[in-house]
Each structure stands twice: as structure tokens, then as C-alpha cells.
């Protein structure tokens, strides 16, 4: 991305009016032959944020004031808890609960599977998917074991900690629509805040089918690079 910025975008910013934010965005977006990729859109986004910062500084006010003013005093954030067993996950959950988090994502190792994506690299360490480590091998994944085990994790969390916190879980695009619908239905009693990325995000029709079979909310979108092409599931 740094190369794309330095070699392609920044030279074309010289001499342009920094206040014409939308015009510059459209110029860079429509001027790129290969559109919507993560490198292109991340670079354009970096320029876009910088231009809004310039506009706010020129107006001598915080950007949120320039965009209409504050509408809330804070926002809820969530944390990641993991464990190679349910007991480890519960310990990590308790640690984050004590820190005051009201929304907690839970992931856990699955018995019979050597590795599971989405785990931290050690006890007390933050989860970070970009760090080096051992990744799950394709032949090790078992959808059946996953679907059978994960409700047990949520049951253990709710039995020990109750329903005071929002409970989240990331599925990492691994299921089919039918599997995801069945999974969402099976965990409704645990009142999940969301199940994230149940199916490959590029097939957005999947979400419509899932929503027809479960009231468990779906979270999706982190792999999209633009609002263009997104569809509603209503």
C-alpha cells in the first residue's frame, strides 16, 4: 500500500484543491483499472481521511463537529477471548470481564483438531491474526466437530457468567448456508450479539437464507473494501 500511495496517488495530489474531497476520491477510484482491491481502496482511504483532517483543521474545529456534531458520549467496544479448552476460555473471559468489557468475543480450541484459527499465541496475549504462528491445516478442519462443540462453549459461558455481557463469535467464513442456519438456530438460547462471517462474504445471497431460519444476528463486512456492490438481506 505504501508503494501505491507514494508512486501513484501522492504525485497526483500535487496542485489539487484539498477541499474537493469527493472529487479526489472519484478521480482516484475511477482512474484505477483494477478497482475495489484491498491495496487500492486502503490507499484511497488513507488519502480520504487525510483530506478530511485537513478540512477540519482549516475550519479550526474537530472533524465530528464539522460533520454535524456529537450524538453520543462514547461507543461500545468488544474484546477477544480465547482458550485451547473451555476452561482456558472461561478464565480469559473472566479476565476481560474484570476489565469492564460489556461485549466479549469467544473462540476456543476444538477437541480432536490440532489447531484452530482465531486463537491467541499464548495465555494472556492478545489475538492477532497477522502474527506468525501455526495455522490450521486444511485436512484438520472438521465442520461436524465445530458445530457439535461450539454450543458447549457458549453454554459454559452463560452458565458461569450469565447474560450481563454481549456474547460474540467469529466463524471465519467456514460454513455453508445450511450449516450456518442450523448453527444459528442451535445457539439462539444463548442470545448471541452476533455470529460473524458464517459463510464466504462474496456470496451475499447466503445471508438471506440464513436469516430466514434463525434470529441469531449476523455480522459481516470486514473483508469488503467498498460499499459499492453490497446488497441488503431484507
Catalytic residues: 117, 172
Asked if 87 and 45 touch (Cβ cutoff 8 Å), the reply is: no
What is the Cα–Cα distance from 147 to 149, expressed in whole angstroms?
6
Contact (CB, 8 A) for 110 and 145: yes
- What grid cell was written down for 107? 473462540
| Order of strands across the sheet that contains 192-196 | 79-81, 103-106, 166-170, 192-196, 218-219
CA distances from 151 to 71, 83, 207 (A): 37, 15, 21
Rg (CA), the chain: 21
Q: Which three cell numbers stand for residue 127?
A: 489475538
Rounded CA gap, 130 and 121, in Å? 11
Amino acid at each position: 500500500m505504501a508503494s501505491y500511495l507514494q508512486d501513484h496517488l501522492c504525485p497526483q495530489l500535487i496542485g489539487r484543491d484539498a477541499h474537493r474531497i469527493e472529487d479526489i476520491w472519484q478521480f482516484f477510484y475511477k482512474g484505477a483499472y483494477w478497482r475495489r482491491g484491498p491495496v487500492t481502496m486502503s490507499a484511497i482511504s488513507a488519502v480520504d481521511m487525510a483530506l478530511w483532517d485537513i478540512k477540519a483543521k482549516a475550519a479550526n474545529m474537530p472533524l465530528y463537529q464539522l460533520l454535524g456534531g456529537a450524538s453520543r458520549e462514547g461507543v461500545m467496544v468488544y474484546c477477544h477471548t480465547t482458550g485451547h479448552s473451555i476452561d482456558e476460555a472461561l478464565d480469559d473471559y473472566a479476565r476481560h470481564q474484570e476489565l469492564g468489557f460489556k461485549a466479549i468475543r469467544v473462540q476456543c480450541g476444538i477437541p480432536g483438531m490440532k489447531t484452530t484459527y482465531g486463537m491467541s499465541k499464548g495465555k494472556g496475549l492478545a489475538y492477532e491474526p497477522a502474527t506468525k504462528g501455526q495455522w490450521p491445516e486444511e485436512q484438520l478442519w472438521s465442520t461436524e466437530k465445530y458445530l457439535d462443540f461450539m454450543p458447549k462453549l457458549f453454554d459454559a459461558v452463560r452458565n458461569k457468567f450469565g447474560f450481563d455481557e454481549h456474547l460474540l463469535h467469529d466463524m471465519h467464513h467456514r460454513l455453508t448456508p445450511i450449516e450456518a442456519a442450523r448453527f444459528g438456530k442451535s445457539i439462539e438460547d444463548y442470545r448471541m450479539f452476533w455470529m460473524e462471517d458464517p459463510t464466504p462474504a462474496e456470496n451475499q445471497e447466503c445471508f438471506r437464507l440464513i436469516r430466514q431460519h434463525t434470529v441469531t444476528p449476523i455480522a459481516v463486512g470486514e473483508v469488503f473494501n467498498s460499499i459499492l456492490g453490497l446488497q441488503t438481506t431484507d
